[in-house]
Amino acid sequence: AQSVTQLDSQVPVFEEAPVELRCNYSSSVSVYLFWYVQYPNQGLQLLLKYLSGSTLVESINGFEAEFNKSQTSFHLRKPSVHISDTAEYFCAVSDHWAGNTPLVFGKGTRLSVIA
């Protein structure tokens, strides 16, 4: 069975400061990895994903995440956050080999950017 651990439930950070949201997973099989974001009063949106290839993946709004197989981690980082990044962030995994399998989510990290 797969599981995802997001160690921080809440992360407050000042505007323009860097941030790292941590995600660790456990799985007996190869996985795909995802970060979803939920802005206030909206649904979940895919932020970025790792399927294969380069272990560093980037989103269009400046976030990046690096797949580290040895540490079973997929931490999300941004060098300089904006007020608009305030949201809840979810790390998720799915089975690499089974095809269109359900996502297994972490509990989420609520990022609050302070002016």
Residue 66's beta-bridge partner residues? Answer: 56, 75
Residue type, 20: E
* Shortest Å distance, C-beta 15 to other proteins: 27
Site for other proteins contains 54 (CB under 8 A): no
Q: Which is nearer to other proteins, 48 or 81 (CB)?
A: 48
Interface with other proteins in residues 77-106 (CB under 8 A): 90, 94-106
Which residue from 56, 69, 107, 114 is in contact with other proteins, where contact means CB under 8 A?
107
- Whether the CB-CB separation of 27 and 87 falls below 8 Å is answered with no
63 binds other proteins (CB under 8 A): no
Note whether 91 and 33 are within 8 A (CB).
yes
